A and B are shown apart, each in its own frame.
Chain A
Amino acid sequence: MRFFCYVVGLVIGLTSCSHRTTIEMPALVRSEDTIACEEVFPQGQWQFVHSIAFSMADGKKGTVLGVSVVNGSVIKSALMTIEGFTLFEAEYDGQLKILRAVPPFDNGGFGQGLMRDLQLIFFEPQTNTVHYGKNADGSQLCRYQEKSGYTTDVILSQDRSWEVRQYGSDRLLTRTVKANPSITSGHENRWFPPQQLALHAYDTVEYTLIMDLVSSEKP
């Protein structure tokens, strides 16, 4: 049970929706030129395996393996221990279908929270209301206003790294995803997955997921 005690906090964190952060959405210096922010997200079907190191605000830590299969709006996901024991497996296509959930991952909100995080990492926000502009530091930015009330900024840096920052309807920061540059092996025009993704959730229980890419495959 001890391992599960350490992930209970993670479960609570992924389940929670209330906002504690005080980081506010910055003003956008708007531009008329469109920016290809969709290029940071995978197109078509991909399978990723990540080593996920999670840290809770209270210092609890652990490492799991995560499998994510994304295709269009469909996400299939599994979390397992390094030793291969499956903790959670689910599919999402507008509706969450849980295939396996070992306590405490059988908490109803965990799957929804996990899918929310995976959508933020792998999918371009679904909305027609997009504004383009620049951040104060000069980096290019796409601002997506979603019907759900969230505003999501996708920020592109010169070094090919990128960041997603999501704000609630109260304009306070709820999530960030930072992606280290992909290794393109000289194929600059092809999409390559980031070697590392870092997600930080600013919820009732804050948590950080450092996702190191183990393998990527386009089946």
Chain B
Amino acid sequence: MKVKLTSFVVLLLVALSSTCWADEWDSISQKASQLKSVRAEFTQEKHLKILAQPLISKGNFIYQAPQSLRWEYKSPVKSVMLMHNGSSKKYSQRDGELVEEPGGGFESMEMILQEITNWLNGRFTDNPIFNTSLEKDLRIIFTPKDEAVAKLISRIELKLSSLPSLMDSVTIYEGPSSFTRLTFRNAEINQKLKKSLFTEI
């Protein structure tokens, strides 16, 4: 009985300590500053009014502080986006091969990915594009400051993980019946990563 009670208390403490990390901006930023790298899988669901079923894409991403990102789609269409040292490149499948798209070419997603790297870095509030609000259920809501951006993205909802400095999902709302949800899983943090992951396909 004593063992069971101890186990319960330990579990409760773990649960409390893990959810408390996201109660205040300061604690989120402090935890995020300890994050050096993340490698995770993602599933992307695209919901549209005209789609009977959401369009599912799968891939993985690799992040390394402060601003390096590899965002890769494995299916249904292969695509790789690389961000490193302020430059970005995009490669898409064409005739069975990954070909660089001229001009980088992913402005809206580039903005979202830039945001994701900022969030992983713990930078939530000093945001020139979005107003942010921290909700009690581990959610952060981003609403555009600018009307021009609001026409493209009405809001972004970030669901933080119960594990410090990670996120469970990001939902990008374009309109009332159109949104994209990215759900993350199998995250591995603070591993040593090769620079080439962010510069080569």
B contacts with A, residue count (CB < 8 A): 36
- Whether the pair B103, A2 counts as a contact (CB closer than 8 A) is yes
**A51 in contact (CB, < 8 A):** yes
- Whether the pair B55, A47 counts as a contact (CB closer than 8 A) is no
| Shortest Cβ distance from residue B61 to the other chain A in the assembled complex, whole angstroms | 12
Note all chain A residues with C-beta closer than 8 A to B57.
Answer: 82, 84
**In the complex, A5 Cα to B101 Cα: how many Å?**
12
Q: Mark A198-219, 1 if CB is under 8 A from B, else 0.
A: 0000000000000000110101
Question: Within residues 52 to 108 of chain A, which ones have a CB less than 8 A from any CB in chain B?
Answer: 53, 60-63, 65, 67, 69, 76-78, 80-86, 89, 91, 99-100, 102
* Interface 9-mer from B19-27, B104-112, B129-137: B104-112
**B86 in contact (CB, < 8 A):** no
| Shortest Cβ distance from residue B55 to the other chain A in the assembled complex, whole angstroms | 6
**In the complex, A176 Cα to B53 Cα: how many Å?**
31
**B31 in contact (CB, < 8 A):** no
**A191 in contact (CB, < 8 A):** no
Note all chain B residues with C-beta closer than 8 A to A80.
Answer: 46
**B52 in contact (CB, < 8 A):** yes
- Whether the pair B106, A81 counts as a contact (CB closer than 8 A) is yes
**In the complex, A91 Cα to B50 Cα: how many Å?**
9
Note all chain B residues with C-beta closer than 8 A to A27.
Answer: none
Residue of A nearest to B111 (CB): A85
**B121 in contact (CB, < 8 A):** no
- Whether the pair B94, A61 counts as a contact (CB closer than 8 A) is yes
Q: Mark B34-58, 1 if CB is under 8 A from A, else 0.
A: 0000000000101011111101010
Residue of A nearest to B51 (CB): A67
- Whether the pair A85, B50 counts as a contact (CB closer than 8 A) is no
Question: Within residues 1 to 31 of chain A, which ones have a CB less than 8 A from any CB in chain B?
Answer: 1-6
Residue of B53, B92, B105 contacting most chain A CB atoms (<10 Å) = B105
Question: Given A77-B50, A83-B109, A86-B48, 4 other A-B contacts at CB below 8 A?
Answer: A49-B55, A82-B79, A89-B48, A89-B49
